[in-house]
Amino acid sequence: MNLKRALISTLVLSASCSANATLTSYTGAGGVGLVYSSVSNITWTQNASLFKSMVDSNPEHDLISNIALITPIYNDPYWGLNTIDADDFNLENGQMTWWGAKAFVSYLNSINYGGANQWRLPTVLGYAEIGGYFGNRNQSELNELFYIELGGSQGYAVPDTVFFENEQASLFLSYWLGTEYASNPDRAWGFFSHSGYPYPEFKSTKFSVWAVSPGQIAAVPLPAASWLMGVGLLGLIAGRAQSNCSLNPVTRRPATPPAPRPDVWPRHSRQVLVAALPLALARFQYPIAARRAAC
């Protein structure tokens, strides 16, 4: 089963690379899906609604308490000390306050999710002509993903692609960015995935979280059996290619005669062996004949 899964993952990875050169989906530690962006040089969680999926797979609903154990209080420069508790999270739709979002990515780091401990919220990179709406032309890592890599259009929902799952594209379901709104630090930037534009919202508003990690997180190596099979297949293909290249294209015979096979036994050694063989046989047969005569 592991071998089959590894081979399927390899095929999917090849198809993904050929479909979009800027995004690469693969498997990280713990079998979780990751997507690397060469445009932003960051790794996204493949699950665009990771918190909701974690809640659904945790019937005891102790995820929030585990998050609060890592970040019991968030010290906001504007709002002051904020206790992280159930009020920061919506278990029904997987959304959370900005402080809850900050605590959630800290929790991902504590469990080394996907093999990384540098998870964070996407950030605002500056102001540019990418996206932009209502005069807010700020460029963020989510802008780059939405417009450049996924080919999204302003006023339309985030495209549904093979790279990600559970993208939040319904009306008013948005994602938090990690950057505070400089003009009003009681707010932080959010990205409206149903229309493709950023907008500052109060930090107490509940948005979804799509976490990123800088650079490319290491992929899980293939099992040894898969690696050996891959090496064997590559060797077979290379051998056939080399063999085909050495054939005359017209006669399909070797272009050059094969080199003479080196003698294992030198010629004079073979002559000595042939001469000595009858004597050896005679000596072997004499004791047998003598025993038969005695009988």
**pLDDT computed for residue 68 by the predictor:** 96
Amino acid at 294: A
Contact 115, 107 (CB under 8 A): no
Tell me what pLDDT residue 138 has: 54
What is the token pair recorded at 224?
């040894």
Tens of pLDDT, residues 120-175: 999 998 765 555 444 445 588 998 898 888 888 887 888 888 999 998 776 667 89
Closest by CA to 122, choosing from 205, 213, 59, is: 213
Task: Report DSSP letters for 97-166, one per residue.
Answer: -HHHHHHHHHHHHHTTTBT-S--B---EEEE-SSS-BTTB-EEEHHHIIIIIIS---TTSPPP--SS-BS
CA angle 226, 228, 230 (to 5 degrees): 65
d(CA 175, CA 136): 16
| Amino acid 61: pLDDT | 74
In the predicted model, what is the mean pLDDT of the chain? 76
For the cut 80, the answer to whether the pLDDT of residue 101 exceeds it is yes
- Summarize pLDDT for 103-124 with one digit per residue, the tens: 999 999 999 999 999 999 999 9
Residue 247 clears pLDDT 90, i.e. is over it: no
pTM exceeds 0.75, yes or no: no
User: Is pLDDT above 70 for 239?
Assistant: no
38: CB partners within 8 A, 6+ apart: 21, 22, 23, 24
254: tokens are 């070797």
Beta carbons of 158 and 167 less than 8 angstroms apart: yes
Predicted local confidence at residue 58, as pLDDT: 85
